[in-house]
Amino acid sequence: MKARTTIAPAIQGSGQTPMAAASTRRSMFDALRVPRYGFLLATGWVWGLARWGIGFLGAYLANQLTGSARLVQLTGVAMWTPLLVGGVVGGVIADRLNRRVAILAQFLTIIPLAIVLGIAGLSDRLTLWMIYPFMVVVGIGWVIDMTCRRTIIYELVGGERVDNAMALESLSSATGLAAGALVGGTAIKAIGIGPAFFVVAGLMGIALLLFLPVPVLAVDHNRVAAGPGPLTALRQGFSLLKTEPTLVSILGVTAAVNFFYFSFSPLVQQFGTRLGADALATGVLASMTGFGMMTGSTYIARMQPRQRGKAYTIGALGAMFVLVPFAQSTSYPLSVVFLLVSGIGMGMFGSMQGTLVMTSVPDEVRGRALGLLSTAIGVLPLGMIALGELAEIVGAPNAVTISVLVGASLTIVWVIVHPQVLRLTS
């Protein structure tokens, strides 16, 4: 299926020939030439830094207080569940409402709550059960960011630069994952678990300030008025699964990776304990996935491979297979290396994910398609629950091994039955 794209605003009417436009796409930082895209990218990076820091803090607190794989996994479940139940709703918001206002609203909700948790920590009143609702709110903000901000990215840079913009977005997200875990581990070691929430509140405040210069991209109210109502639009979002087989093929791989691979992330706390690592060393271990994703994303941003779908699928499978030796390792240095290599595959996967979704559907339903992507990613909490229960029975190492081997096998079967994703090219 041929990708449906639009002409980039920065190229349209610029006098460039198609050959010249093609050559500029080879620049790793081409999208940064578009005015204000840098602010969007920086906002996403700092937001990701805070989000992954929050994820680390919540999982660390659960592990320290209980030592239970189930309760550690539930911190991830709380943060990721909104993507499962709210992804398509977020897509409707992105298609119909003021995206900029929605993004500002989630910042202004999360920041005060993080400050409240910091105050509770200072007064020794911070409990595990305060964390779970906070993680849910963070997850809701994540849905809004994923659907609204990424839709703004496409509108700002256009179809000609979207590959590069989304690769840089993935690189930014991976950097946030890596640095967020390090920030969380360092903050806990330096000032304690409670005051560490002030750190993430400060990061969210910086992300808010970086977002303020982003231009207001007005919703086309004539198109919205002529279009379906919110409930009908919601139903139409799900109906894309009937009319867009390529989208289905992409989302199937996404769902498998998130259910069977990413579900292990809170359990890094238990692997750290198993390897005798303190908070900082566990933060370093958790950051390796992010550093690997940075490497994979950099490759995609620089090379912009023509075989988009194959890079997406091969990256996912490679990441899952390399996680097996990590799960069985009893050496801290080897564990660091295995997570780093696995993350490289995830970087290739993540760099292609948003681009494939946005360029496989018509312009008018792009937000809803991204909402479906959020929902596919949102199966992650179900995977976390399943993995947590399995880990209670067979231990974290064996549970992770079983999970990724089953996930890789199902992914291979999926792309054999639904091969459209493998045919996608730039």
Residue 50 within any structural domain of the chain: yes
In whole angstroms, give the CA distance from residue 266 to residue 181: 11
Q: Which of 210, 194, 157, 188 is nearest to 44 (CA)?
A: 210
Contact by Cβ (8 Å): 160, 5: yes
| The pair of three-digit structure tokens given for residue 190, joined into one six-digit string | 């330096």
Burial category of 74 from C-beta neighbours within 10 Å (exposed 0-12, middle 13-18, buried 19 and up)? buried
For the chain, what is the domain count? 1
pLDDT per position as a tens digit, 359-369: 787 777 776 78
The answer to whether position 24 is within a domain reads no
Q: How far is the CA of 68 from the CAs of 108, 143, 266, 384, 391, in angstroms?
A: 33, 28, 11, 13, 9
**Containing domain of residue 134, as a range?**
31-423
Q: What single-letter DSSP state applies at residue 27?
A: S
Q: What sign does the CA torsion over 319, 320, 325, 331 have?
A: positive
CA atoms of 282 and 268, how far apart (whole Å)? 7
Sign of CA dihedral 58, 183, 140, 123: positive
Domain assignment present for residue 1? The answer is no
Residue 34: helix, strand or coil by DSSP?
coil
Q: Does some domain include residue 3?
A: no
- One digit per residue, the tens of pLDDT, for the chain of length 426 reads 444 433 333 333 334 443 344 444 456 677 778 788 888 888 888 998 999 899 999 999 999 888 888 999 999 889 888 877 665 565 556 556 677 888 899 999 999 999 999 999 888 888 888 999 999 999 988 888 877 887 788 778 776 777 678 778 777 777 888 888 889 989 998 998 889 999 999 999 999 999 988 876 555 444 444 455 555 555 666 777 777 888 999 999 999 999 999 899 899 999 999 999 998 999 999 999 889 988 887 887 777 778 888 989 999 999 999 999 999 999 999 999 999 999 999 988 987 887 788 778 777 777 678 778 877 887 888 999 999 999 999 999 999 999 999 999 999 999 999 999 998 887
Output the domain CATH number for residue 272.
Answer: 1.20.1250.20
Residue 275: inside a domain: yes
Q: Does residue 177 form part of some domain?
A: yes
In a domain, 23, yes or no: no
Place of tokens 């792309």: 415
Enter the pTM of the model: 0.72
Alpha carbons 162 and 153: distance in angstroms, whole number: 8
Residue 41 maps to a domain:
yes
